[in-house]
Amino acid sequence: MVKLTPQEFKSKYYYKTDLVELCRKFGLPVFGTKAELNGYVLKFLEGVPVNQIKPVRSPLRKTKLTTNEITLNTPLVGTGFSFNEDTRKFFAAYFGVEKFSFKKEMAIIKRQAEIDHDTTKTVGDLLKEYQDIKAEKKGSNIANTTPEESTYQWNNFVRAFSLSKKSNLFQHKMKVASILWGHIRDSKMPKEYSDNLIDQYCEELKNYRK
């Protein structure tokens, strides 16, 4: 068999399935994007020993998280978190909408965490970074009163609630946050989370305590 050279490899177009087969044939990592797989093969053809070609990212955990298992503190890497239907439901509840579509920026943030092997970056961090990117692109601020921008108030409310020690008193935190938000959303109260809200509506929340 004629040996494949780096020049020949770079001169041809390969589908991802072709790259996976080449990686498997050469004993290289088979998980990753097309560009990552391409890089593994090219390193091998250029003479880098197989044992020195490490995966850029870790494979996803086979066991996926359910909607109820996902929280703002869930790490993006090493937990089974992925952009699937369960995550879609979690994000829909977080943004207070019936349907939610994943954004390209979210995938980029998650992929970078995988590349960096950053096990400290959480779902909450992902959402904050995504919102910061969105706000920067729009050149807007949280005080904007359009329907789309008003979601920032809800997002900040949920984030503050989740960071509060008092939120640990409850199960189904998103449901509790939604109840509290419902009381202040159309009121004249500040659209901000305060531990006083838990005290104020303690009777309504008692069934959600752990």
Assigned domain for 24 exists = yes
List pLDDT tens digits, range 99-157: 899 988 898 888 888 877 777 889 999 988 888 777 766 654 434 444 444 556 777 88
Instruction: Return the pLDDT at 140.
Output: 41
Whether 37 and 125 share a structural domain: no
The domain total for the chain is 2
Is 70 in contact with 84 (CB distance < 8 Å)?
Answer: no
Assigned domain for 45 exists = yes
Whether 82 and 20 share a structural domain: no
Q: Which domain holds residue 31?
A: 6-52
Assigned domain for 58 exists = no
Separation between Cα atoms, residue 92 and residue 181, nearest integer Å: 15
Residues 6+ apart with CB under 8 A from 80: 60, 61, 62, 63, 64, 65
Distance of alpha carbon 16 from its chain centroid, rounded? 24
Whether 39 and 78 share a structural domain: no
Assigned domain for 135 exists = yes
Whether 39 and 72 share a structural domain: no
